[in-house]
Structure formats: structure tokens, C-alpha cells
A and B are shown apart, each in its own frame.
Chain A
Amino acid sequence: MVFQITASLLDACVLSRLSRSDTYGYELTQDLRESLQVSESTLYPVLRRLQSSAFLKTYDVPHQGRNRRYYAITESGKKQLDEFRNDWKTYRSRIDSFLGSDA
């Protein structure tokens, strides 16, 4: 992929995934890696950032004798996600007006 994914897009994708269900770091990474070219260590800074902006919260669930940290979207995270989706729609239609095959 020649187009680089930006920080905001990653934020949006993570929030979108979390809006479907809570999940933990590994699963989140693998889910994103199904469609995005991100390394295994890309999401830690993203999660940190989202958490410090209070867009997501965490809770620990015991799993096979250890704790697994789950990430969940907050109310302000949902608002942010809506904003991201609107911005993305605008952005996509603008790019499409130049680049789209049926432009």
C-alpha cells in the first residue's frame, strides 16, 4: 500500500472496532491487521493516546491465571467516533471527486 495511514485514521479505526465490542490488545491488533498494514506494536501508542483523551477506558478480566486488559469505548469516544465518521465521509468524497473511477 503506497498510501500511509495517519494517526487520526488509526484512532478512528480503533474506536470503530471498540464500538462493536470490547476487546483486548492482541485481538484488536489482529483484527486491524486483517485490513490495515500495521505492525504488531503500532497500537500501543494509539491506545495510550485514546485513553489519555478519555475516549476509551480499560478493565481487567482474569484469564488463565493472569489478567487480560480489555478496552471499551466511552461516551466521549462514541462522540469522537461520530465526528471521525463524518470527517471521513467528507474526506473520502473529496478524494473520490478526483480519484474515483466514476468521478
Chain B
Amino acid sequence: MILGGCLARPGFSQISEVVAVTFFKRYLIPRLISYVLVIWLGITVVFFIPRLTPTDPVMRMIGEMRGRGSTMEPGTMDDIIADLTEMYGLEGSWLDQYWAFWGRLFRGDFGVSFFQFPTRVNQLIFTAMPWTLGLLLTTTVITTIFGNLIGGVAGYYARKGWSRTLDAVAMVVRPLPYYIFAFALLVIFAGLVVRWFPTAGGASLGALPTFTWSYIKDVLWHSTLPALSLSILGGAVTFQTMKLIVQNVNAESFVQYAKLGGVTESRIVGKYVIRNALLPQITGLALGLGQIFSGALITEIVFSYPGMGMLLYNAVIRGDYNLIMGITLFSIVGITTAILVVDLTYPLFDPRVRYY
């Protein structure tokens, strides 16, 4: 993401050691520092939210417990309040609380979930995560490959009819929020119009998670609509940006020269144009990961898909603040790390960064 143009400068000495040192100093170290800083800022914001808003989280919890009709002895209530105060780390000055908060994070302890007491938040997240991760990985791979390929070819043949048609479709799909688009797919394919796909869940009720073909087929069948919804929305964005970049690359002289030199068109598109246009797309993917993740959470809620989105939904409905905090902290670290990984693969695609 943060690439100095200085890296592309040809150097006097070609000694690989110097190259490596420059790479570390100019690219890797600043990138790692900003990674740590972003995580620090995100977690600090999460720490301050319950402390700056006018609601006392502990009293709110007690209120909600009472609202549910549970009556308890006065002594028990005091115990619970003390317990919750300790759990939220609300004892001592803000500075003490802040240290205690970080201490808990480093131990990887997000506390217990209140409404699935006494299950730990960690455990709930780790049960839900594979579903979200599977959905996200599949759709990101599909989006990246198909969006860039189709967008690249459509950009090269921008004047053809099919290219314009695809462009028009992307113009309609692009502005739709994840929620509305997922809901529209649900209405069309699993509700009012036809009933080809299940309306809810990650697998049929009572299906045991085993490595049999019938179970895998069941999971795939249930994940088709959520994955389709995410892929089409993400794909439309990738398609549009790729098409635009390719149209710009097309106008460059090396493409004209290749054409005049008799290089075959498939080679020009595949080897020269798309490869050059891919570089900004990698940066775009890194920047968009947070959005894609939020979109996946919302899509899961619409399809009642049993991942982190559904966990979040249940936590919100039940007022389980601890669980929401766990999900948020976990996501902040997960997403910034994923972006770091994408950024660090950049040198693989851009030889200028790799070789000085």
C-alpha cells in the first residue's frame, strides 16, 4: 500500500545484500510499523467506546437481565455486579484499566459470553470462523480471478457490444449494498419466485459434519447463494476498475508497438496488458478487504449462514456486549494481518520492488 517510488530506482551496485537491506529499510519496516500502529489505534478505539458513551455497561447488563424476568437475591446481584466490573476491567483509573485490557488481549482472553454462559467468547468465535473464512476465501478468489480476467478482456475490446453490455450490468449492480442485493437474491431464488436454494443455514438440520460427499454437497448447496451474492457484488467492482485501467494501459505506446510488431492479440492481452494492469488491482484488493469482510458479515445475516455474521447478529439481539467486543477485536487483528500479507506479496508481482 505504502510504496516509495524510490524502490524502483536502478542502483549502482547490484549486490544482493544491499538490495535486501534497502528492501527492509524502505518497504518492510515502515509497513510493519504502520501495521502495529493501526492495530493499536483500532483496539484503543474499542477500549474507549463503552467508557465514553453515557451507558454504564454493567448496569445495562443487569437491567437487561432483570428485563428478562430473572429475579435474584440482593446478595447474588452484588456478586454479579462485582464479577461484571472485574470482567469489563472497570476497576481503578483509566490507565490501569487500559493496561489490564492489553494484558487480557495478550493472553488471548476475551472473557465469557453472557448469554451462552459459561461458554468462552474465544470458543464461539473459533466455531463460527471456519464458515466465514471459507465463504470469504472462495468469493475473494472467484472475484479476483474472474473480475480481473473478464474486466481485462472487456477493457481491451471496449468497443465491442458484449463489453458494453457487461459494463451496463456492472453499473446497475455496483451501487447496491450487500444487504439489499443478498435479500433480492433470497427473494428471487429461495422465496417468492423459485425455490431452488435453501433460505437459511450452512447445512441441513441434523446433518453431521463428516468428510462424506453428501455432506460436502449439502454445504456447497447451502453456500451457493451467499457466495454468489458476494462474488457478483465484489466482481462488479473488480470488473469496472480493471476495465478502466486496461483502457488506459491500452493507450500506451508499448501496446501500439507490440501490435505493429505483429505480436498475437492473445499474447498482448494476457502477457502485457493484463499483467501491467494487475498491479494497482492488488493494492485495491488490500484496501477493500475490510469492506468485503463487513459485506460477508451482513450477507451471512441475510442467509442465516452460521459464521461470524450470524454470531454478531445473535450477540446484538441478546445484548451480549462481550461477544461483540471479542468479534470486533478479533476482526481488527485478522483484517489488518490479511492486508499486510497481501501487501507483502506485492513484490512477487512487481519485479521493480523486488530488484531494487
Do A and B truly interact?
Answer: no
Chain A residues with CB under 8 Å of chain B are none
